[in-house]
Amino acid sequence: MTDNDINEEEVLLRVNNLKLYFRNNQKFTTKAVDGVSFIIHKGETYGLVGESGSGKTTIGRSIIRIYTPDGGEVYFMGNEISGPMNKQKRKYIANNIQMIFQDPMASLNPRKKVSDIIAQGLDIHHQFKTKEERTEKIYAILEKVGLSREQANRYPHQFSGGQRQRIGIARAVIMNPKLIIADEAISALDVSIQAQIVNLLKKIQEELSTTYLFIAHDLTMVKYISDRIGVLHLGHLVETGTTEEIFGNPIHPYTKALLSAIPHPNPRIEKSRTIIDYDYESSGIDYGKGVSHFIDGQHYVLATEDELTEWTKYYYGTCKEGECK
């Protein structure tokens, strides 16, 4: 991987060759994440896309250490947060990285008041001196996510899906994290509510200059919110780059297939939309053999030399001299 044009100062999170396997039984192991490397810059939104089972959620959960990785390193602002766990590291992660969960119904404890759910992180790490300070913090965060302070003493079942997701966001934001992992944070919501929540996330990013790792499978939403995108398939990061690079110049056949599946709002265009088929088994591509190739800017593709020349030769426009055959 060529990192020559990357300023180390700007890197918030660096994931290096991350591996995580689930041992189903003694003979069979699922390689959920198999050697994924990427970086996230300070203040940006990195979108992680891929079909279900591609390892998106697993990567997110490995970074925040819900799962223990089987290999590879994760650095947060130059500090390693992978490897053996201890209390200090746990606290460091909790204070800097937070997560927003997919299911707003399941991610809130039905037996707890909203105020106690939001203040959970403060309670665990004793980050308040007086009761008043705790209440103040809860009220401030409730207003920030668009809820009212009267709602602090209610229970999760008294809220709608969008409101519950706001509570989930409040729980993450109250810790003032530098990185928020939004694990399919909008997938379970109504489309109109999705826009509200995405705009809320953007607002919070502007105010607190938070960085997002945005995990999703809705490509239009990812295009809207992300600065850079990583495309995952079967535990491999097949292509990564800025949103323009990925959407304007997709190189990997899987990315092309994924982008071709986006429905178009205009029914006339939608009628003539062709879906590119992609089948890993029959494509002859072996992700294990591929290495990350630098294209341009921040655009990288996982491929072997031959595959890369094959994929780039039909491309017109941005391809450089000598590459087109």
Partner 1 sequence: MMGCPEIVEDIFKEDSFLLAEKNAGKIIDREYSDKTMWKEIIYRFTKNKGAVIGMAAILIIIVFAIIGPYMSGYSYDAVDMSRQNLVPRIPGIEKLGVFDGTIKGIDQYAMKGLDHTYYYFGTDNMGRDLWTRVFTGTRISLFVAGVAVIIDMVIGVVFGMISGYFGGIVDLVMQRIIEIISGIPNLVVVTLLMIVLKPGLLTIILALMFTNWIGMSRLVRAQVLRLKEQEYVIAAKSLGASDLYIVFREILPNTLSSVIIMAMMSIPGAIFMESFLSFIGLGIPEPMASLGTLISNGYKSMMIYPHMVAIPVTLFAILMISFNLVADGLRDALDPKMKAG
Residues in contact with partner 1 by CB under 8 A are 61, 64-66, 90-91, 93-94, 98-99, 101-103, 106-112, 117, 120-121, 124-125, 153-155, 157-158, 168, 171, 175
Specify the residue, 79 or 158, whose C-beta has the smaller distance to partner 1: 158
H-only helix segments in the chain: 56-63, 87-96, 114-118, 120-125, 131-144, 161-173, 191-208, 219-225, 243-248, 253-260, 267-272, 280-283, 305-312
Smallest distance from partner 1 to CB 218, Å = 19
H-only helix segments in 100-210: 114-118, 120-125, 131-144, 161-173, 191-208
Smallest distance from partner 1 to CB 85, Å = 10
Smallest distance from partner 1 to CB 217, Å = 18
- Per the listing, tokens 């290999």 go with 71
Smallest distance from partner 1 to CB 112, Å = 8
Specify the residue, 170 or 231, whose C-beta has the smaller distance to partner 1: 170
| Among 205, 7, 27, 13, residue whose Cα is nearest residue 100 | 205
Residue 219 φ then ψ, to 5°: -70, -35
Smallest distance from partner 1 to CB 163, Å = 11
How many other CB atoms sit within 10 Å of the CB of residue 201? 24
User: What's the one-letter identity of residue 319?
Assistant: C
As a 3-state breakdown, the chain gives helix, strand, coil percent values, each rounded to 5, of 40, 25, 40
Specify the residue, 61 or 228, whose C-beta has the smaller distance to partner 1: 61
Specify the residue, 168 or 241, whose C-beta has the smaller distance to partner 1: 168
Specify the residue, 85 or 140, whose C-beta has the smaller distance to partner 1: 85
Q: Which tokens in the block code for residue 56? A: 């998106």
For CA atoms 119, 121, 126, 128, the dihedral sign is negative
Smallest distance from partner 1 to CB 243, Å = 27
Residue 308 φ then ψ, to 5°: -65, -45
Decide if 60 contacts 259 (C-beta within 8 A): no
Please give the angle made by the CA atoms of 48, 52 and 58, to the nearest 5 degrees. 60
Decide if 144 contacts 173 (C-beta within 8 A): yes
Specify the residue, 87 or 268, whose C-beta has the smaller distance to partner 1: 87
β-pairing, 71-76 vs 79-80, is antiparallel
Smallest distance from partner 1 to CB 2, Å = 33
Residue 319 DSSP class: P
Specify the residue, 57 or 240, whose C-beta has the smaller distance to partner 1: 57
Specify the residue, 117 or 246, whose C-beta has the smaller distance to partner 1: 117
Smallest distance from partner 1 to CB 231, Å = 25
